[in-house]
Structure 1
Amino acid sequence: MVGTLTTIDILGRLKTLRKEMALRQESLAERLGVDRSTYVRKERGAIPITTDEWLKLAKALERDPSYFFLCSPKPGSAEAGLAGRERLLLKLYRSLRVNEQDDMISAVYLKLRSIRRKAVQDTLRMLREA
């Protein structure tokens, strides 16, 4: 069954992602060409966010616009089976900008390429190809 996202869910994703990326409301307001108070009202749902603004927000937050609107499992549910360190590494990776994620993957690859276990080598190969 396909779930439905409410406006509150969609705006919650926006706010959560902004906070995870440690971006201030002023920064996103500037990207939209509005003042901070207008942005705050948009993030709270008091003023609608236009399609053009959603596209600008997606670009600023380095996400596909569909990220905000498509149903997916509740945040965190996919990580429920992860150990503490795994969860922290995933959180760290997701908090990085795209170029920083690439740098992290490169660093991991360089550090681990000398490990000869098949599972490690297969995973590194997939990372390189992704």
Structure 2
Amino acid sequence: MAPEPPQQRLAKHLDIPIVATTQNAARLGDTVKEIVSQLPEKHLLHDKTLFSMLTPTVQEALQPNTSVIIVGIETHICVTQTTLDALAAGHKVYVLADGVSSCNKEERGIALDRLRAEGAVVTSSESIM
């Protein structure tokens, strides 16, 4: 079994809710079992077909004007759309630079620069802890 990511361990320890989404599981597959098996008992795992994870189901789970920490893949697509939607909804958004990735490595830096310019705090896992 893969080691538990430190961000996830911290969230469990501080009883911070974890919301995880899968992008169109019917076509692209489920979230890998190594991640799902390490989620705390109180978590939301939601399938979506939009690029943003702020679906109505996820929005209901988030309290208004809270801080959210975002990690994920395809920084230039799903992470970007989620961050922009969360900012528009009034959340304080932290994007963990060491917790995001893209298939094309050039896209990651471009997306992080854009998110910083849009008002997200781009930081590292160690800094957030």
- TM > 0.5 fold call: no
Please report the TM-score for the alignment, with normalisation by the length of structure 1. 0.27
Determine which structure has the larger strand proportion and give its number.
Answer: 2
Please report the TM-score for the alignment, with normalisation by the length of structure 2. 0.27
Larger Rg: 1
Determine which structure has the larger helix proportion and give its number.
Answer: 1
